[in-house]
Amino acid sequence: MSLTDEERQALEELLPHYPDRRAAAASAMHAVQQHRRWLSDDALADVGEFLGMSVEELDSLATFGNMLFRRPVGRHVILVCDSFACWSLGYAELRAALEARLGVRMGETTADDRFTLLPIVCLGACDRGPALMVDADLHGPLAPGDVPGVLEAYA
Amino acid sequence: MSRAMRPDGEPAFFADYVAAGGYEGLARVLRELQPQDVTQAVVDSGLRGRGGAGYATGRKWSTMPVVADAPHPKYVACNGDEMEPGSIKDRYLLGRNPHLLVEGMIVAAYAVQADAGYIFLRAQYDHPYACLERALAEARAAGYLGDRIMGSDFSFEIYLHESIGRYICGEASAMLNALESLRPNPRARPPHMTGAGLFSRPTVVNNVESYAAVPGIARNGAAWWKSLSASPEGGTKIYGVSGRVAKPGCLELPLGTSLRELIEVHAGGMLPGYRLRAVVPGGASTAFVPAADIDVAMDFESLAHVGSRMGTGTPVLLDDQTCPIGMTLNMLQFFAQESCGWCTPCREGLQWSAALLRDIEEGRGRMEDLDLLAEQVWFMGPDKTFCDLAPGAMQPLEAALRLFRDDFVAHIESGACPYSRGGSEVPVEEGATWAEPEPPAGPPEPPAAPLAPAGGAGR
């Protein structure tokens, strides 16, 4: 596999932001992930070829950041805040409702590839706790009973 | 800082911002002031960094080389990696008034004669990112960014950079590594960032709210900024209250507003049926303040007097029905998980402290564990680790051992958590080494490792 024209263009647009190509690595992996959902070994090889970096160099960064996915994820990623404000406001009940509704546990993807459920640290939305994000959307405060309604919007 | 904010809660973009006096500070600075005068005004304002450490912003700027033969390029960078649990103010500022950061950074760049700026934003701030993207485009279109800004001979550009995740990226020197796509460990100091920072060039790093204070100081002067305060420290602060209160949220108030006023007046008081037990005043790396001390003014000096810190100035409340040990464990587990692993005391010590605390919370604790925990507080105290992550983690633990002694003893003596909110409700991450995995119900499945390595635990 190699970069699509669209991906290549996205990466070209990033390069002027940085004084050298290698410094664009994090943003480049982000950009490719937006097109492919997750970063396979092939994806890293494609980015590496573009930037003149080895897969290993990229992987050392990709495995450090928890928002670069090195395993497949579903069409929608749910990030459930488990930090202390949300924890004290009903995180456990919210998590249980999500796991029951989706039939998966934290770290897993639904069989229909629709949702991946992941833990996340504080979302900066303690005033809306317990909170979660689905893709780019912040939701909260949520009672366990709100879960079906929230998930419905994501096909 | 809230002047341009819209009552409907939507972001204030260019028209709203300019109508509220936006970019007048920048215009005045470019028209009337030498770069050193701008830095002097920020020094005179007494502005202290709003990201947690409280370092004097003007003093930091004054260490940047601005002589005629100073090396170029120079950078200004904004730390928008708001990831410390409890911190909610940068999301609020950027989502409501994004031009404030843009103007603040341009003024700062003029003061230190920087060539380019980076805004480092955490990964989950999609809405703030979109607001900033639009604000930057509007500023560019209006001639406030780019070549020869407003007809002056000053040129400057700002780039947005989204984090790949992890709390350590909010440590200023680790953030510079992250911006360079290097492994985001903190850097050794010296050299200081204003000497050799981003790409080894002189760099000023400030928090979102610190930059947001700059346009007002540029427009109205240092004396005006100081006069806004209820404290000798000067100025205003974006406070935010979370927990079981009637009206959680953010509000700009005079710096030095008391914690009691914040909670009882602005946040509407505790919800019926709950009593205040303690407050975490400014993020998970600040020590609990007991309910008896909430008349304290929320400023840097006053909070130090009650054994805590201002941090980000966004209190999270502990109520009387939530287990204080469970809460402390949650905070400690966060730091253990987010340790970059670079230095041993932090990488190993935080895991062990969390394990000890989990034993106590789940009824397996021994009285000796309290002494061990107190030792860990000392071992991971200031200046014993590579950066401030572990010392920050020790602050709530130290306070918990001091303030909640009776709760620790009750857990150990009864062999269980006496609270309804605590105990088994503490989140257990997959792969954690200190917790026995629950036997799966039904047929055994292959173990599920997290897709995204949110946890350093057991790794």
| Domain of residue B42, CATH code | 3.40.50.11540
> Which residues from chain A sit within 8 angstroms of residue B327, using beta carbons?
84, 87-88
In a shared domain, residues B246 and B352: no
DSSP 8-state class, residue A130? S
Same domain, B166 and B305: no
Establish if A61 touches chain B: CB-CB under 8 angstroms: yes
- What is the reported pLDDT for B427? 43
Nearest-angstrom CA–CA distance, B332 and B390: 9
CB nearest A119 (choices: B84, B327, B454):
B454
Is the Cβ pair B86, A25 closer than 8 Å?
A: no
Nearest chain A residue to B420 by CA distance is: A88
Each residue's pLDDT tens digit, A107-127: 999 999 999 999 999 999 999
Residues above pLDDT 70, as percent of chain A:
100
Domain presence at residue B328:
yes
Which tokens hold the place of A60? 């050392």
Picking from B90, B163, B182, the nearest residue to A124 by CB comes out as: B90
Residue pair B376/B349 in contact by the 8 Å Cβ criterion: yes
* Predicted local confidence at residue B92, as pLDDT: 98
pLDDT of residue B442: 45
Closest CB to A67: pick one of B84, B165, B327: B165
Joined together, the tokens standing for residue A128 give: 């809306």
Q: Is A83 helix (H, G, I), strand (E, B) or coil?
A: coil
pLDDT, residue B221, reads: 97
Q: Which residue of chain B has the CA closest to A134?
A: B124
Structural domain that includes position B336: 324-425
Q: How many CB atoms lie within 10 A of CB B304?
A: 13
- Whether residues B87 and A122 touch (CB distance < 8 A) is answered with yes
One domain, residues B116 and B213:
yes
Nearest to B334, CA basis, from B165, B91, B167, B87? B167
Do B202 and B151 sit in the same domain of this protein?
yes
**Mind telling me how many Å the CA of A122 is from chain B's nearest CA?**
5
Predicted TM-score (pTM) of this structure: 0.93
> How many Å lie between the alpha carbon of A117 and the closest alpha carbon of chain B?
9
pLDDT at position B421: 65
Q: Are residues B96 and B206 in the same domain?
A: yes
Question: In B41-59, which positions are buried (b, 16+ CB within 10 angstroms) versus exposed (e)?
Answer: bbbbbbbbbbbbebeebbe
Sign, CA dihedral A129-A132-A138-A140, equals negative
Please indicate, yes or no, if residue B86 is contained in any of the structural domains. yes
Taken in order of first residue, the domains within chain A and their CATH numbers are 5-62 (1.10.10), 76-152 (3.40.30.10)
B154 and B279 housed in the same domain: no
Q: How far apart are CA B205 and CA B118, in angstroms?
A: 9
Instruction: Give this complex's ipTM.
Output: 0.97
- Please tell me whether residues B260 and B314 are part of one structural domain: yes
Which residue among B319, B344, B369 closes a domain? B319
Q: Does residue A33 sit at the B interface (CB-CB below 8 Å)? A: no
**B67, B165: one domain:** yes
Q: Using a CB-CB distance cutoff of 8 angstroms, which residues of chain B are in contact with residue A22?
A: 180-181
A107 at interface of B, judged by CB pairs closer than 8 A: yes
User: Is B1 a domain residue?
Assistant: no
Q: Is B334 on the interface with A (CB under 8 A)?
A: yes
State the pLDDT at residue B68. 86
Residues of chain B with pLDDT under 70: 421-459
SS (H, E, C) chain B: CCCCCCCCCCCCCHHHHHHCCCCHHHHHHHHHCCHHHHHHHHHHHCCECCCCCCCEHHHHHHCCCCCCCCCCCCEEEEEECCCCCCCCHHHHHHHHCHHHHHHHHHHHHHHHCCCEEEEEECCCCHHHHHHHHHHHHHHHHCCCCECCHHHCCCCEEEEEEECCCCHHHHCHHHHHHHHCCCCCCCCCCCCCCCCCCHHHCCEEEEEHHHHHHHHHHHHHCHHHHHHCCCCCCCCEEEEEEECCECCCEEEEEECCCEHHHHHHHHCCCECCCCCEEEEEECECCCCCEEHHHCCCECCHHHHHHCCCCCCCCCCEEEECCECHHHHHHHHHHHHHHHCCCCCHHHHHHHHHHHHHHHHHHCCCCCHHHHHHHHHHHHHCCCCCCCCCHHHHHHHHHHHHHHHCHHHHHHHHHHCCCCCCECHHHCCCCCCCCCCCCCCCCCCCCCCCCCCCCCCCCCC
